[in-house]
Each structure stands twice: as structure tokens, then as C-alpha cells.
Chains A and B, each alone.
Chain A
Amino acid sequence: MTTEKHKALRIALISGKGGVGKSVITLNLAAALSSLGRKTLAVDADLGLASLDVILDISPQSTIFDALHRGSPLDEALIHTTKGFDLLPAGSGLPEGTMVTQALAESVEAGFSSLEDRYDIFLLDAGAGIGDVVLFFANLAHEILLVVTPEPTSVMDAYATIKILHQNYGRSEFLLVVNQADPDRSDQVGASIAGHLRNVISRYLESDPPVRLELIGSIPRDPAIPRAVRHRQLLVETDPKAPAIGGIARMADFLEKRISKSFGI
């Protein structure tokens, strides 16, 4: 029955290819949205192979995986970070985290519903690949944000991910961020990749309604990012003037407006 009441906008960050910067973008975007006054929850949706807590230099006592498998409330795993947003950390080294059972799916849905009135936005950092867990979280999200880099492998994987989500799950709306773009012309690179993907989509994924791909940001390749990760801090903490921060801020502005538009809050 359609009784679902959306109070928090759920955004799933996915890419197909690994190593494109999803987790770093998730956390820095969470901080940027928090600074705009939006109550933000970052969810490590790579259930068995955590990364967000590692980047934030946090050692969780309990994880989303523990809570789901014990059937206890997700609150038990919730961490109020010092960065202005909350975190639901994942487990590490848990092969079971690659499987979605019916019970797990229902627990996640119930858990998210129970947290929804406390937040404006959930950022779901899904793992790499197109496994069941990634597709499950993508489908649980209101918006799917694809993270790509200019690498041909990344573009190919992003397209394959779009194709699967469109053909098998009926998703037609996708957001796009181009990461690690040439710093001298990051906006042009972003527009070029978005245009290229749109061309291939319009040629091979004909549908009604058509697949829409909206570019919401280009983040320049920036040595400050790996530096911040090595220090296990956010970019805004280690290098507040880093060029990449501008790209993340523009994404945050876009999503901030999307929250208002979607839920009138």
C-alpha cells in the first residue's frame, strides 16, 4: 500500500567502477549540506566493506550491519560526528554484506523510515559494482547520483549502471557528477562527458519517458583530496581553499534546492 511518507530526500551515490571518489564526495557533500543548515545523514551502504568511518577516523562500536542482523534499531549504530552530520557506519570484512535477503531489505526500509523525520537528506554511499546491494540501495533512493571520472572505464561502467537501472528497474532520472576532471577546464570536461553519455543514451536507450541525465557538478582533480584522506579529515578541514571545494559546494546548493522542491522543507 502506498503509505510511505517521505521526509528525508534519499540520494544514492553509485558509479559501477570503484575508486572514483564516491566516499570522499559523500562525506564532503554531507559537511557542505550541514553547513547550509540541512540535517544530513551519511550512510555507508557498502555494508560489508566500510570506508566512511575510516576516512572520518572513527572507530564505530556498532554498525548498520550489526543492527540489521540483530533486528535492533538503527539508532544503535548512529554516530553524531563532529563535522555537523550523522553517520551510519558499515561493517568491515563481512562477505554477508554483499547479499540482500528479504529480511534485511525489510529491516533497512523500516530503519530508514524510523529515522526519516530527523533528517532532511540521506546520502547513501553504495559500493562499487552492480551487485544486489548496490541496486537495492539505488532503488531505495529518490535520486540516483552517478559519480564518474573521465576514464573510459568509468564512463562505460556508469552507462552500464544506467542501463541496468533503467531496463530492469524502470529508473529514468539520473544525476551526474564528474570527478577528477582536468583542473584547468573542469566544467567543460563535465559538460563534455555528460553530453557524450546523453548521446549514447538517446541512441541506445530509447524509452518513454526518456532517460534524463542531469549534470550537477564537476570536481577538479585536486591533490588536496588524497592529502585529506591520508590525514583522515575532510577537505574543508585540511584545505578550505582547495579548488575541489567549489565543485562540492555547487552540488550541495543543487541538492539543497532539490530538498526544498521535493518536500517543501
Chain B
Amino acid sequence: MYSNSSDDRKLDLSSALRILENAGRPDPRLASDDPDVQLQKIIDTLCDLSIHDGLTGLVNATFFHAVLTREIERSLRTRRTCGLIVVDIDHFKNVNDTYGHIAGDKAIQAFASELKSSLRSMDTAARIGGEEFAAILPECEPEDAINAATRIHSVLNPVTVSVEGESLKLTTSAGLVWTNPNFSVTSTALLSEADQEMYRSKRTGRGRLCYRYGDATQISDDERSALLDRSLEEDSDDH
């Protein structure tokens, strides 16, 4: 029972303390004798737990959607695209089935650490599912997003995890999309598009990064002119 000394109101903090204990966090009451400091510490720790994934320390799925929604709004306001990359560890079930869940957790932590280290400070990395991660890349033009995603994907391919004396080389499939600053989209819809690209990567061989056709791969006018250069026709025509 926590007693606030200033107005003598009593707060039952036993549930909060139990949550912190179960999460493996130190008892905040040990940090200070000052009840106000203790209460602030409890609040801070609960806030931290509510937005982060316990295993990896990355942002959790709920908070990820909140950040993505904010970044989509910012993209509309600033007219600058925001990239979203989704990555999923390939054949992860095999790791759990073969080496057990502790090894699986170790792999997830290794991926999370590599993912985080490959991002800019303004980017947000999240664990959004069992072995699925996402990163929000604000203020990225499509070309920058492609470059960033290519770099992130190369860092994650492969990630080597040491398990029972064996070195497992795990690959990831990734999908990249970006916002259109002229059109609104929900975070769920944008994530679904990124997921579709990631699944396309899975279907087409895994260990790959897929992103939208169109902007990036469409043949430009210059390429078209170069390809249709008349000298080629002269070279290859019948004589």
C-alpha cells in the first residue's frame, strides 16, 4: 500500500508492483525512500513496459501502429514520403522445432539487435509478431527508402546465431512500401501492403527484399531511347 504523504490519499499499487515483478524489473521502492520518486519510477516503468516488447526491447505492435499513424500524418503534412519495411525470419519454425524455444528467442534477440543497429536515430524498429519485425523510415524519398531497406536487408542476410555449438545462418524475407504524400492511408493498410511485398519475397525464394513495381522499375524515357537506338536496328537488320 502506497501512502502519499502530502494529502494522505492511499493508492493500492500491489497490481502494478506484481506486473513489474513478473516482468523481471527491480522493485522501484528500493530506488528511493521518497514516496513520490517511487511512484514516478513505477509509472515510468509501466509506461516502458506498455510500449516495448519484453524479449527484444523494440517497440511493440500497439505502439508501432501509433507511431506509424503519426508518421503517415506527418508525411501528408510535409509532403515527404515515409518508408515502411517489414522483415520476417525465414524458416523460423525449424529453429524452434529443432533447437527449442530458448534458441528461437536468442535468434529473435539477435535479429532485433541487428535491425536496430542498422537504423537511423529517427527511425522506429518494432517487433510486430512472433518473428516479424518492422521499421518506420520517416522522411525518406522512395529512392532513399530503397537504399535504406537494401542496407537493412543486407545486414539481416544472414544473421548468424550460435546455438548448441552450431552456427545457424538465418535469412530474412523483407517487404518495403512507402506512403504517397498526396493520399491518406491507415497504418493497418500500409502494413498490409508491406506484408504483401514480404510474402512475395517468401514466395519467390525467400532471403529477398521486394518492393513495389512501378516507380522503381519502370523504364524511363532515357532508357527507352537508349534501348531503341537506331544503330542497333542497323546492326541487326538483314543485309
Contact = CB atoms under 8 A, between A and B. Distances in A.
B94 A1 contact: yes
B210 interface: yes
A199 B229 CA distance: 11
B219 A193 contact: no
10 contacts: A102-B199, A132-B200, A150-B236, A160-B217, A168-B208, A168-B210, A189-B235, A196-B227, A199-B226, A204-B226
A192 interface: yes
B164 interface: no
Contacts of B158: 2
Contact of A105 (B91, B203, B219, B229): B203
Interface residues of B, number: 39
Nearest to B223: A204
A1 to B, nearest CB: 5
A155 B235 contact: no
A170 B208 contact: yes
Nearest to B158: A2
Interface in A204-222: 204
Interface stretch (A29-37, A57-65, A133-141, A250-258): A133-141
B203 A167 contact: no
Contact of B228 (A100, A135, A156, A204): A156
A155 B210 CA distance: 24
Contact of A182 (B94, B170, B222, B237): B237
A217 B22 CA distance: 68
Contacts, number: 98
A237 interface: no
Contacts of A135: 204
B95 A156 contact: no
A110 interface: no
B169 interface: yes
B121 interface: no
A132 B205 CA distance: 12
Nearest to B170: A1
Contacts of A144: none
Contact of B227 (A140, A170, A200): A200
Interface in A164-205: 164, 167-170, 181-182, 184-185, 188-189, 192-193, 196, 199-200, 203-204
A163 B91 contact: no
A156 B227 contact: yes
A156 B205 contact: no
Contacts of A184: 238-239
A81 interface: no
A1 B146 CA distance: 25
B236 A182 contact: yes
Contact of A152 (B169, B227, B238): B227
A44 B213 CA distance: 26
Contact of A167 (B199, B217, B224): B217
A1 B168 contact: yes
Interface string A2-27: 10000000000000000000000000
Contacts of B226: 199-200, 203-204
Given A136-B203, A163-B219, 7 more contacts: A132-B204, A150-B237, A152-B232, A160-B217, A169-B205, A192-B236, A200-B223
B127 interface: no
